[in-house]
């Protein structure tokens, strides 16, 4: 690939240069063609193990039950373990993974924000199915370009029997959510177009927001842990509250990193009160000296 420098595509030039630097051309092609791509070994073994243990510890505090990775009957079916990003440095490291950031910028523009970082924590049980859905919560027809995007890290090995992620390749082009009769992954009405993502711990799948996906119930002993890192364009409501609500230690650690600032809502300029928009000079009128730069973070979305 030869990176271009088109005057009309200032931000897109940057995004494409980063795709080229990281050698992600095949992944971009698969995202466009099939709506998803697998990122093998995106986390090294230590990072995956640290994240797995951190999720298990948080789940133990949430449920008052120690996760039993052998049998899994400590946590049957599935439960959501929310708000992970601020709760351990390893989750902030994963958010800032350069492959993830480059592909999120490709899908959503450089003004993408983190909406939530959660774990679908799954043990054996018939109730462990997550029916097929898209993450684009708006009426059909869904816009053809990604409004939202998800990257799903395997923190344990994934298998169909083990309750892994399922996707319907190509469904991002259908521009609609599945009908009630199309959502099942289990039983006689199971959707025949669903594919099991049988990836290894440390791998991830990233997908276009219109993609149909869900996960199978777990039918073998043990626990299946993912890390669902859901991003949105900046005009979407985010699911989890970050920005000024982040713990001070997280702001101290990452507050000078422009990529983190944008992803974690530290550049947010909506929600003003008497003080008005942060980029406007209330006293003298017009823009503040750095106001134009502040506004740029909102402009990129439809430019890249
Ligand atoms: O891995 C899973 O359990 C599926 C997660 C999912 O459906 C989602 O993050 O929207």
Q: How far is the CA of 167 from the centre of ligand 1 (A)?
A: 10
Give per-residue pLDDT as tens, 10-21.
Answer: 889 999 999 999
For the CA of 163, the closest atom of ligand 1 is 3
Q: Which of 120, 160, 204, 206 to mutate to test the pocket of ligand 1 (most atoms within 8 A of CB)?
A: 120
Architecture of domain 18-243: Sandwich (2.60)
Give per-residue pLDDT as tens, 190-215.
Answer: 999 999 999 999 999 999 999 999 99
Cβ proximity of 136 and 102 under 8 Å: no
Cβ proximity of 121 and 49 under 8 Å: no
Average pLDDT over residues 171-197: 98
| Percent above pLDDT 70 for the chain | 94
How many Å apart are CA 25 and CA 22, to the nearest integer?
9
Burial of 257: CB neighbours in 10 Å, binned 0-12, 13-18, 19+: middle
Q: Which of 80, 133, 165 to mutate to test the pocket of ligand 1 (most atoms within 8 A of CB)?
A: 165
Q: How far is the CA of 15 from the centre of ligand 1 (A)?
A: 27
How many Å apart are CA 55 and CA 61, to the nearest integer?
10
Residue nearest to atom 10 of ligand 1 (CA): 135
Give per-residue pLDDT as tens, 86-123.
Answer: 999 999 999 999 999 999 999 999 999 999 999 999 99
| Percent above pLDDT 90 for the chain | 88
Give per-residue pLDDT as tens, 238-250.
Answer: 999 999 999 999 9
Place of tokens 């993450």: 135
* Residues belonging to the chain: 304
Say yes or no: CB of residue 165 within 6 Å of ligand 1: yes
Average pLDDT over residues 165-179: 98
Say yes or no: CB of residue 304 within 6 Å of ligand 1: no
**Residues β-bridged to residue 201:** 203
Closest by CA position to 112, among listed 150, 153, 152, 154: 150
Crossing angle of the two packed helices 10-21 and 25-34, in degrees rounded to 10: 110
Tokens representing 203 are 């791998």
How many Å apart are CA 263 and CA 176, to the nearest integer?
27
Tokens representing 61 are 């505090």
| Domain range summary for the chain, segments of one domain joined by + | 18-243, 275-304
Distances (CA, A) of 107 to 19, 37, 145, 233, 300: 12, 12, 8, 9, 12
Q: Which pLDDT does position 11 carry in this prediction?
A: 87
| 141 prior amide bond cis, ω within 30 | yes
DSSP one-letter code for 218:
B
Weakest-pLDDT range from 86-100, 124-138, 175-189, 281-295: 281-295
Q: Which pLDDT does position 302 carry in this prediction?
A: 46
Q: Provide the mean pLDDT of the chain.
A: 94
Residue nearest to atom 6 of ligand 1 (CA): 214
- Tell me which H or E stretch contains 191: none
């Amino acid at each position: 690939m030869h990176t271009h420098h088109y005057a009309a595509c200032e931000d897109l030039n940057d995004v494409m240069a980063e795709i080229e630097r990281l050698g992600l051309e095949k992944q971009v092609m698969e995202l466009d063609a099939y709506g998803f791509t697998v990122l093998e070994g995106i986390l090294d073994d230590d990072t995956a193990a640290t994240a797995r243990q951190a999720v298990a510890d948080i789940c133990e505090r949430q449920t008052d039950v120690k996760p039993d990775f052998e049998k899994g009957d400590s946590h049957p079916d599935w439960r959501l373990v929310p708000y992970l990003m601020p709760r351990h440095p390893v989750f902030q490291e994963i958010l800032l993974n350069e492959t993830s950031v480059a592909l999120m910028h490709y899908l959503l523009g450089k003004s993408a924000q983190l909406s939530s970082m959660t774990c679908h924590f799954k043990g054996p049980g018939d109730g462990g199915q997550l029916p097929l859905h898209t993450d684009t919560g708006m009426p059909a027809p869904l816009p053809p370009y990604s409004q939202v995007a998800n990257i799903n890290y395997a923190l344990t090995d994934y298998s169909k029997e083990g309750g892994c992620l399922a996707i319907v390749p190509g469904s991002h082009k259908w521009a609609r959510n599945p009908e009630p009769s199309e959502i099942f992954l289990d039983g006689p009405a199971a959707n025949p177009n669903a594919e099991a993502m049988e990836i290894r711990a440390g791998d991830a799948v990233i997908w276009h927001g219109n993609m149909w996906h869900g996960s199978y119930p777990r039918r073998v002993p043990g626990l299946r842990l993912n890390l669902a890192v859901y991003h949105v364009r900046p005009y979407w409501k985010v699911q989890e509250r970050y920005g000024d609500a982040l713990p001070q230690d997280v702001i101290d650690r990452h507050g000078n990193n422009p990529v983190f600032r944008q992803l974690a809502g530290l550049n947010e300029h909506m929600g003003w009160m008497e003080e008005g928009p942060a980029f406007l000079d209330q006293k003298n009128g017009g823009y503040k000296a750095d106001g134009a730069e502040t506004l740029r973070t909102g402009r990129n979305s439809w430019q890249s």
